[in-house]
Amino acid sequence: MPVPGDNANSAPTARLAPAGSRDRMTMAEAIIASHTLDPVIPGAVCQVRVDFAFANDITAPPAIEEFKKMGAARVFDPERCAIIPDHFTPNKDIASAQQAKRAREFARVQGIKYWEVGRVGVEHAFIPETGNALPGEIIIGADSHTCTYGALGALGTGMGQTDLAAIWALGETWLRVPETLRVMLRGTPSRWIGGKDLIIHLIGMIGVEGARYMSLEFHGDAIAFLSQDDRFTMSNMAIEAGAKCGIFVPDDTTISYADARHARDFTPVYPDEGATYARTVEIDVSSVEPTVALPHLPGNSKKARDCASIEIDQVFIGSCTNGRVRDIEIAANMLAGRSVHDRVRLMVIPASYEVYNEALDRGWIRIFTEAGASVCTPSCGPCMGGHLGILAAGERAVSTSNRNFVGRMGHKSSEIILASPAVAAASAILGRVADPREILGDDCPPLEEGVPNE
Amino acid sequence: MSESDKKISGRAWVYGDNVDTDVIIPARYLSTSDPGLLAPHCMEDIDSSFASSAQPGDVMVAGANFGCGSSREHAPISIKASGVSCVVASSFARIFYRNAINIGLPILECADMSSPGAVAAGDVLEVDIAEGVIKNITNGRVFTASPAPEFLRELFDSGGLVPYVRRRLEMAR
């Protein structure tokens, strides 16, 4: 199957690019070229127009401070700016309530996009749902997992609150044009393999700084088997390999997702055939097994079945990595008619109300509560040590989130093992790290909406 | 004198590769961005002695991928508020790099500093930010950092991003 980049002799895509730019462009180069007047060459610094810029309840208050220090009166465009209160919400204490209040008041005064608790979701699940991240766009968030939007063929990347404040003021920022690392995903994934297994596998291969300052660009015939939600999971963790962004080339799945939700007009961008990649990594997805990342780095990848002796105290299913419909569905299928292990606490946190309502309608919430799980309102929850499931000294969790750094989810002696929703649910049942095939075999029926590889 | 002309002298705090922002400043303290409230918790999950013992001028030295993880600007803010005058690492994660420049925490990229015997905890270092030269006074060795991109040097020397944006907004009025 021909893939973009395979044929160096064909013509580049017709596009207007600043003089001095590369003729044939990768996704990241092509998206930057459509947003700048500066020559687009890896390593060069370009001043780019930003399509959407947001902060959360932790990063908004200091961004607001910087915005004021800059002497800015109004944001560049209220329709392209947002604050998403998702980290310490519903507010866990007085200090976090004060922060959320400052964010809320700024949003109201500026007229920027803001959704209140009870309507909002975890930012990187919610922003795409509301059509505020679209193919071909540059999206900057004061949150490192803004790279999630690469799943829609956008260049999403995280920055700090001062950079974000500058974008709110000017509508633009500087970007160093990244080199691109091409990831070729070939073959057919087996029944229990999803985006989480593939991205942990990749980070295990290239290391937690294997793509530092680079753009990951996903190609290959295996992508046709990955749902939009699986792609969000993969792009979400590009930062865990040090990458600036992790971008998929738009296909029918991308475009139908964006068409159904877009808050603005959008123009998809595609890479040129013959674009220059700094490096190419190949993964035969048919050989990838359910994979976990052991403490304390996302690159400590191991096959789940080789970790079956590791006992656990808690399981968290949710987050901007794996709190979407597909993830909750997989967990519910695994837990239907089964119970959470006596020794284990299972926290399920759907990442948005769209996900929560789907879980209600499909009977998944009932499956979780009957299995003995705690189900909470959309929030980042325990992922970064906020609330709703903090770990005590010496405790160990399996989590569908994206980071397993020291102390990330609680006490500095606690441990986090990163895994897919299938591995997490199977582990919750068995009270130890488990391969989903220990609960449901390879031959179990596909999920209702169809597993593409069946 | 611009920021990057400063010469710095202090003791070395030495850490390894992949020092992440969760250990630089744990998220449980992010209900504030007040430097004075963040500093006492800087590095506490991997080095409980740092926050109480760091002195003004001290230099943080680390391996590859320093500051990986979250975008929290609280990380460089807490390091700077601890008194650290400069971070020298063999490489930096990109968001931390931007954030450090934006808040005026000098950083130098120097791969040789993480070679065996280059620096030990408590060694006295003298750092010339403008020249990118790091002298280990304790063992006599001298290291040269990779120069920062011109654009970033200018941004840093002009006082950082806040004055830059202020000037742009004033010009537009």
Whether A87 and A59 have beta carbons less than 8 Å apart is answered as: no
- Interface probe for A, chosen from B25, B45, B70 (most Cβ of A below 10 Å), is B70
**What ipTM, to 2 d.p.?**
0.95
Burial class from Cβ neighbours inside 10 Å (0-12, 13-18, 19+) for residue B140 reads exposed
Range in A135-144, A394-403, A433-442 with the lowest mean pLDDT:
A433-442
The percent of residues in chain A predicted with pLDDT above 90, rounded, is 93
Stretch (H or E) spanning A28: helix A27-33
The pLDDT score that the predictor gives to residue A454 is: 32
Residue A10: the pLDDT is 60
* pTM higher than the cut 0.90: yes
Structure tokens at A281: 């990594």
Give the mean pLDDT of chain A: 95
**For chain B, how many structural domains are there in total?**
1
A38 near B CB under 8 A: no
CA–CA dist A5, B54 (Å, integer) = 51
Residues of A in contact with B168 (CB under 8 A): 169-170
Is the Cβ of A165 closer than 8 Å to some Cβ of chain B?
Answer: yes
Using alpha carbons, select from A150, A156, A132, A128 the residue that is nearest to residue A82. Answer: A132
pLDDT surpasses 60 at A8? no
Whether residue A267 is predicted with pLDDT greater than 50 in this model: the reply is: yes
CATH at residue B126? 3.20.19.10
d(CA A390, CA A344): 14
Residues A220-257 have pLDDT tens digits of 999 999 999 999 999 999 999 999 999 999 999 999 99
CA dihedral B49, B50, B51, B55 (to 10 degrees): 120
Instruction: Give the distance, in angstroms, between the CA of residue A181 and the centroid of all CA atoms in the same chain.
Output: 18
Mean pLDDT, residues A122-149: 98
DSSP label of B121: T
* pLDDT higher than 80, residue A6: no
Q: A139 forms bridges with which residues in the sheet?
A: A52, A156
Is B43 exposed, middle or buried (CB count within 10 Å of its CB: 0-12, 13-18, 19+)?
buried
How close does chain A come to B62, measured CA to CA in Å?
Answer: 14
Short-list A157, A121, A122, CA closest to A139: A157
Q: Is the CB of residue B137 less than 8 Å away from at least one CB of chain A?
A: no
Under 8 Å between Cβ of B109 and B92: yes
Determine, for residues B73 and A59 on separate chains, whether the beta-carbon distance falls below 8 Å: yes
Q: Do B162 and A69 touch (CB under 8 A)?
A: yes
Q: A7 pLDDT band (50/70/90 cuts)?
A: very low
Residues of chain B with C-beta less than 8 angstroms from the C-beta of A98: 31
Cα of A44 vs its chain's centroid, Å:
27
8 Å CB contact of B70 and A143: yes
Mean pLDDT, residues B19-41 taken together: 96
Q: What is the mean pLDDT of residues A315-337?
A: 98
Distance from CA of B107 to the nearest CA of A (A): 16
Domain with CATH 3.30.499.10 in chain A: 49-175, 178-287, 292-438
Tell me the pLDDT band of A443, cut-offs 50, 70 and 90: low
d(CA A388, CA B165): 39
* Confidence (pLDDT) at B5: 58
What's domain A178-287's architecture? Answer: 2-Layer Sandwich (3.30)
- Do the Cβ atoms of A174 and B160 come within 8 Å? no
DSSP-derived pairing of the beta strands A374-375 and B107-109 = unpaired
Spelled out in words, what is the top-level CATH class assigned to the domain A49-175?
alpha beta
Q: How far apart are CA A245 and CA A145, in angstroms?
A: 9
Cβ proximity of B47 and B5 under 8 Å: no
Q: How far is B142 from chain A (nearest CA, A)?
A: 27
pLDDT at A3: 41
Domain span at B109:
3-172
Mean pLDDT of all residues belonging to chain B: 93
**Residue B159 — φ and ψ, nearest 5°?**
105, 0
Mutating which of A384, A390, A391, A399 best tests the B interface, going by the most B Cβ atoms within 10 A? Answer: A384
Residue A1 has pLDDT above 50, yes or no: no
Q: Which of A448, A396, A428, A408 is nearest to A321 (CA)?
A: A408
Report which DSSP code applies to B2: -
Q: Taking CB atoms and an 8 Å limit, are A209 and B93 in contact across chains?
A: yes
pLDDT, one tens digit per residue, over A197-217 is: 999 999 999 999 999 999 999
Cβ of residue A166 closer than 8 Å to a chain B Cβ: yes
User: What is the rounded distance in angstroms from the CA atom of residue A288 to the CA atom of residue A189?
Assistant: 7
Choose from A96, A208, A213 for mutation: most chain B CBs within 10 A.
A208
| A113 pLDDT higher than 70 | yes
Closest Cα partner for A439 from B51, A431, A386, A416?
A431
Separation CA A208–CA A214 (nearest Å): 12
**3-class DSSP state of A327:** helix
Class of the CATH-defined domain A292-438: alpha beta
Closest residue in A to B155 (Cα–Cα): A174
Chain B interface test: which of A47, A161, A319 (most B C-beta within 10 Å) = A161
Interface contacts (A, B; CB < 8 Å): 137
Would you call A66 and B162 a contact, using CB atoms and an 8 Å cutoff?
Answer: yes
Over the stretch A175-196, which tens digit does the pLDDT of each residue have?
A: 999 999 999 999 999 999 999 9
Per-residue pLDDT, averaged over A27-39, amounts to 98
